[in-house]
Every structure is written in C-alpha cells, then in structure tokens.
Amino acid sequence: MIRNLLLASSVLALAVLTGAATAATPAVAAANVTDSRLLGAGKEPGQWLSVGGTYEERHFSPLKQITPDNVNKLGLAWFADYDTNLSQQGTPLYIDGVIYVSTAWSKVYAYDAHDGKQLWQYDPKTPGQFAPKICCGIVNRGIAAYKGKIYLGSLDGYLIAIDAKTGKEAWRKQTVDPTKMYSITSAPRIIKGKVVIGNSGGEFGVRGYIGAYDAETGNQVWRFYTVPGNPAEPFENKAMEMAAKTWGGKWWELGGGGTVWDAIVYDAEHDLILFGTGNGSPWNQRLRDPTGGDNLFIASIVAIKADTGEYVWHYQTTPGDTWDYDAMSPIMLVDITQQNQKRKVIMQPNKNGMFYVLDAATGALLKADPFTAVNWNDGVDMKTGRPRVTKEARYDNEKAFNLAPGVQGAHGWHANAYSPDTGLVYIATQRAYFVMQGQNNFVVNPAGANLGINMGAAATYTKDHPDAPRDFVGYISAWDPIQGKEVWHGEPGQGPTGGVLATGGGLVFQGGGNSTKEFRAYDARTGKKVWSMDPQTGVVAAPISYELDGKQYVAVSVGIAATNYYAPNYSRMLVFGIDGKAQLPAPVTYTPPPLNPPALTASAEQVAAGNKLYDQYCNICHGVNGQARTATFPNLMVTPMLHSQEGFDQIVLGGVRAARGMASFADKLKAADTASLRSFLIAQANDLKKRQPAIAPPPPVQPADAHADLGADAKK
C-alpha cells in the first residue's frame, strides 16, 4: 500500500523546481502499445490499452474471475492519493504492469500495479489563470498510449507527449488559438499513427473542430471543422459549403459552437472516425440564427475518413439545437444480427434523452427511443430521421418552458458499458428538468459564457407552477437496444452518477456520482446490488479491470470537487482484488468557514449594479449569487475579503491569486465596479444569514484571502 503524498519531500521539491516530472524509480514497462495491439485489444483481455478498453469503446472487460458469487470477497488491494482536492474524471490505462491516470489540472501519474508505488508524476504547469476559460471543472477525462509515450490534452489547449518510462515531456504542440476561449478536457485517441483530439469551449463563442496530429512529432495532419466560418471567405471543403446552407444570420461572429469535447471512436472495419459534436453557441438559437436553420454540424454524429479527415456522412440528433443538447455522450460500436446478417452499428444514449442506433457505414437511422423523461419531442420520424419537436419547446423571451431532459442532460460524458454476454447497454442515466426562457437585452460577453437564456427563469416559473417537476436524479439503467426498453435500473440519487464498467464475470461496476459516496457492483442480468464500499468521496470516473500475475483487479480514480473550496475530498486511485486487505485512513475532521459578513452599507442602486456585473463576469465560476456549488472555486458568501475592499481589489484587480485560477479583471473592471461587486456579495451574504438564524457560526478561519491554501494545487 502506498500514499503518494508521503513520498520523499526532496523528490517532490525537485519536481517543483525543475518542471514537470517526478520519478521515484524507472517504470517497469514503457507503454509498448502498437497499432496491432490497438487493433487486437480484444485479444488481450488482461490489458486496458485505451480509454474505452478497445477501439469499440464498450467499456467491457472479458475477465471472469470476479463474479456475483465471490464479489463479496472483493477488497482494497492498494490506494494512492493525488495532490489535489478537485474532481477526478479520468479513466485509467493499464499496460504491462503499470497504471497510468490523468487527474485535475491535466496532471498524469504512473503507478506500479503490483503495489501502487508511484513511478512518476507529470505536471504540464497549466497557468492557474486559465481556469475562467473552463466551462465545467478543472478536469481531465483520460489519456492515450502509443509506442512508449503517453498522450495528454491539457486544459490550455496543448497536445503533449510524455515519455512513458521517465515521465518527462517529449514534446508539446498548441492545438487551439490561445487568444480564444478554447480548452481541452477529453482523452486523445490513437488512430493509425495519429493522435486525434478535439476541444471544448462551446459556451464561450468558439468554432468547433477535430484534428489529427502525427504521433511522433505532434505536427498537424488534418483538421475538420464542425461548423462553417464566415461565408465571405473560402470554405475549407465541400462539407462546410453544404453546412453553411443550413445557417442564417451572422453565426460566425459568435463562433457557432459544435465543439468536439469527447465521444471519438474508430471503426477499423470501415476505416472511419466517428465523433459527436457539441451544442450551438449561444444556446439560444434565436440569437445565433434567427432563421431557425438546422445549423450543421452541431448536435450531430459525424463520420470522416481516418487518413484525411474527409467528410463521409452525418446524422443530426437535434436539428437547430436550442437546448444545449450536445451529441457528445460516449459512442460505442456494436455488432448486431438482423435477419441472420451481422451489422456494425453505432449506439449512443444522447443528452437529448433519445437512444440512437445507426448503421456505422452509412449513418442510416435504425432506432430512436426515449430512455428517460422527454418532452421536447413526441418521437422521431423514422423516414426522415428528424425529431417531431413540440411547439412549446422552442421557448422565447416571453414564455418559459420546463424542459425535459434539462440542460443537465439525460446523459453526460460519463462512460456507458455494453456487455456482449447480456446484450445490454448500461447507461449512467439522468432524469432532469430545467426551465428555459430567452434572455432579454442579450449582449455578447467576451470574457465569459454566452448562453442567451434567462438563468433566473426557474424561480418565477416554479412560483407560478408549484407542482411542476424540478428534480435532477441519476441512476444506472440497463437498456435493451434492440427492443428499445429498460430491463432494470438502480436506485436513484441526487445529480449525476458515475461511469460504468461491465465484465465477463456478469458484473457491472459504477460509482455513485456526486452525491452518493459509494463504489458498487450490480448483477449484470438482474440489477441486484451485490457489493459496495465507501470511498470517502464521490466517484464519477469510469472503472477499468485488468489482470496481473493471474489475478483480476478493478481500478477506479475517485474524487469529486467537495461542496466547499476549503474541504478535503480524498482524491485517489483505488485498486480492488479478491481478498484485498488494505484500509483507507479515517477522514479528517473539517469545520467549514463561518457565514459572518459585514453589515451592508451600500445603496440599493450600487447593489443592483454589482448584481449585473456579477452575472456578467463571476457567475460562471462562483455560482449563482456567489454560492459556489463545488470546491473548484470559493464560496464568496464566506470569503474574508467581504471585510476588506483593499483585499478584494488585490484579488479581482491585482491578480494576486492568478496562479490559483483567479485571473485579474483589471482590463474589464474599475475600482467603482469592484466596490459594487463587493456590495452585492455582502447583500447576498446578509440575506443568506437572515435565512439561517439557527446556525451558530464556527470559529473564524485564519486564511486572510478568498483563495486559501489548497496544498499542492495552491502552489501551482
């Protein structure tokens, strides 16, 4: 058993001083992953060579030692702590005795799988002030391995190759325009000697694309844009010319969206790269395209040639998307039999609530069934492939619509699994509602998200419709893709659940997600929960299974951003095996900072001005009214800086916490603006305190700034 926070301080200090990698001992293997191994990954059931296990991305392990009959003997074999208290979403790789995993801030670790000894750590040194460009957490969802290197997409848009033996950086290439609001959180894929990756930023006014880069040099081989650019300029290819006919207005001025931030699969049989695309930008279609066109290729599944990136086919899951319905949920390739003939199909449980089955070679729609609550359409026309959108769903600035699935989605980025033994797809499912209403007086915000919707619409709507559904629950669902029906589902919990792993032993492993601190196993056929353990934190990343010295193991990266910026969250790598005896240390006692704001002395006009500025510049990171939902950013209701305008300005204007993710806003705000902002926050904190009179404040916290010390993350 090993805890990497207890490694020799001199080794860690050397990493801080010299840059990226800390190496305890040479790695016992060097990611010897070749094209033939990737193509034949299914013949190496003891390995986990790519983020989805194989090119088909089924998240299925054929290993059979752990079964419903003996899973009660499953115990912790070893664990290793990370140096971060943020959310962990990376799927690990297991290659020839070594586990590789990416963590928050785009860091990468390598562990000896025998005992968990850390072999090295790599830190790309992503600038902390890059955090405001991130939509949904300072996270990374996975890495790729090829010919002795580990490949990483960093938050600030670099594609990086790391020597798998030493952890030292081999090369890095900038894949995005750094002047725009791009980022990368997804896992690269290795396809025919190329590293294929997209990017994020659909909420921030960017133009989406997917690119291929030479695995040896990092040089770009090809790029495929997902939305057309300015029609006054030459189109990059015929596909963009075709797509431009489905757009109106001046969409290019707002970027268009369609980012490829996950969901990339290689179909080796047809030599096609299949990928999903993100939402339009802004969300509200009336702002980006008043004509109401389909807006290709947003919210679509697209097929391109692996060698050239040339367009082959597409299927648009949500034409004219205005609900943030990315088609970025994981895609898997499955062989099915129809009328005694085998057929390779794509399966995707989409964010829009529909489960799609498409012909992999042609994109022909074979099935489209709702797998959760859906009210934006009343079905799909199987002849045209188009959804029958309900009239009420296309909201405007006057009338709100209680959307299902809401923008949270029926399914997000979390991995699904397919078992060829049961024929079922195991989906991290969500039932969610969100009130949609257009935003009056929309003004483009160059420093933040541009959604074009009224984020406060829910308060008014629920007051007028007290019985309207408003829940957001997550659960695992076993789905029969041929019959188009649910076979069983697990118990629901608040918010999203974790990614899924299915095994040949008849088990399905999944984390409980953000709210349920549980890692569990279900019987794949019946849905009976047959095992669980308390990881002391939430689990959202997908587990993997591998074999070492003839024994099957299950590994998962755990940790979610805590409900408080100052709290520990126990981010770790956990590895389980039959008769494992390791024990996690007891959680530490934690006292949250007090809600103790100064008295409000500002005028109502100044508070209102601060409210407007907050919505424009601060909401995206610090949450509604300053009450941050997770530990990624501080809860401004309890920051000591409410008591000091000078200290407040040192952070907001002076940038003294830029290394921790709080960039200076001196180019956008003046001293009078920050005074209004602070007044608004003081007003909100006092209002919150009035509504919590029975809660006695704990002792005051000592850190004298809003971005108190986080340990290793704070020292970036």
Is residue 35 part of the annotated active site? The answer reads no
For 129, phi then psi, to 5°, come to -70, 0
Spatial contact of 146 and 197, defined as CB atoms under 8 Å apart: no
Helices (H), 249-337: 285-288
Residues 182 and 513: their CA atoms lie apart, in Å, by 27
- Lookup result for tokens 């019959």: 483
Helices (H), 145-288: 238-244, 285-288
Tokens of 71: 């899973």
For residues 291 and 285, give the distance between their C-alpha atoms in angstroms, rounded to a whole number: 9
> CA 265 from chain center: how many Å?
17
Q: From the candidates 324, 369, 673, 713, which is the catalytic residue?
A: 324
SS3 track for 359-428: ECCCCCEEEEEECCCCCCEEEECCCCCCEEECHHHCCCCCCCEEECCCCCCCCCCCCCEEECCCCEEEEE
- Rounded Cα–Cα distance for residues 114 and 98 (Å): 8
Give the containing element (helix H, strand E) for 480.
strand 472-480
Neighbours of 173 (CB within 10 A): 17
Distances (CA, A) of 362 to 79, 304, 653: 45, 11, 54
CA distances from 565 to 85, 365, 625, 665, 685 (A): 8, 45, 16, 21, 17
Q: How far is CA 96 from CA 76, 89, 146, 272, 350, in A?
A: 21, 23, 13, 29, 34
Cα→Cα distances 402→187, 321, 471, 660, Å: 33, 16, 11, 37
For 23, list phi and psi in degrees, rounded to 5.
-120, 120
Kind of pairing, strands 500-503 and 60-61? Answer: parallel
Distance CA(716)–CA(215), nearest Å, equals 28
Active site residues: 324
